[in-house]
């Protein structure tokens, strides 16, 4: 009888210890998972914020140099004659045009340095995008795609940027220089 009581007590004790161990282990695992999830959320939030800021800059409504609000005026202010509307930050001498017939900015505002960099990037990239050269560089066949779009797709891979944001109008000086660097080797007279 005593033996049965003693065995029963030991069993209860063992089960209690076991359940405590399991509970502690589960708590530790939950904590680990929660920490990982929190870190993932932080990264996602940072990425989201970065994308939001970038998207905002590409609306032309905010100057990327001083952070100030831009003006929406006729381009004759800059060129002496009208080529349509522009978003401008006068103190930074930075501006950008709009898509024809809309108030949609062509990209981010560019100051003198960036305007020069964009010109250089276009000079090299357009020789690939506006000819059939892209099909020699990248032989992959993509149905129903223009050379220009295919060239931008190729460029996005070369620059390791999201295709959605891979437009020279959206780039900074560093990215424009990279465009030159990746395009130049494919051009016969570069
Ligand atoms: Zn500014």
pLDDT by residue (tens digit) across 142-183? Answer: 888 899 999 999 999 999 998 888 999 999 999 999 999 999
Same domain flag for 14 and 31: yes
Q: Rounded distance, CA 24 to CA 1, Å?
A: 35
Same domain flag for 67 and 117: no
- The rounded percent of the chain whose pLDDT value lies above 90 is 56
How far apart, in Å, are the Cα atoms of 186 and each of 124, 178, 189?
A: 9, 14, 9
pLDDT band at residue 3 using 50, 70 and 90 as cut-offs: low
Centre of ligand 1 from the C-alpha of residue 65, in Å = 5
What integer pLDDT is reported at residue 140 of this predicted model? 87
Q: Rounded distance, CA 165 to CA 51, Å?
A: 10
Centre of ligand 1 from the C-alpha of residue 79, in Å = 19
What integer pLDDT is reported at residue 109 of this predicted model? 96
Give me the residue label for tokens 């381009």: 75
Give me the domain span that covers residue 90.
Answer: 47-109
Contact status, residue 176 vs residue 183, Cβ threshold 8 Å:
no
Same domain flag for 126 and 187: yes
Centre of ligand 1 from the C-alpha of residue 123, in Å = 27
């Amino acid at each position: 009888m005593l033996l049965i009581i003693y065995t029963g007590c030991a069993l209860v004790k063992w089960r209690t210890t076991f359940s405590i161990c399991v509970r502690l282990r589960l708590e530790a695992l939950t904590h680990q998972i929660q920490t990982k999830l929190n870190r993932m959320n932080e990264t996602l939030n940072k990425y989201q914020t970065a994308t939001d800021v970038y998207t905002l800059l590409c609306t032309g409504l905010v100057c990327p140099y001083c952070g100030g609000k831009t003006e929406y005026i006729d381009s004759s202010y800059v060129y002496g004659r009208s080529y349509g509307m522009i978003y401008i930050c006068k103190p930074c001498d930075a501006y950008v045009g709009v898509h024809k017939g809309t108030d949609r900015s062509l990209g981010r505002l560019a100051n003198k340095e960036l305007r020069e960099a964009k010109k250089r990037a276009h000079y090299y990239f357009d020789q690939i995008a506006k000819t059939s050269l892209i099909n020699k560089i990248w032989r992959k066949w993509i149905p129903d795609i223009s050379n220009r779009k295919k060239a931008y797709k190729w460029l996005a891979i070369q620059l390791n940027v999201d295709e959605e944001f891979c437009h020279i109008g959206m780039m900074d000086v560093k990215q424009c220089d990279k465009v030159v660097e990746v395009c130049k080797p494919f051009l016969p007279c570069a």
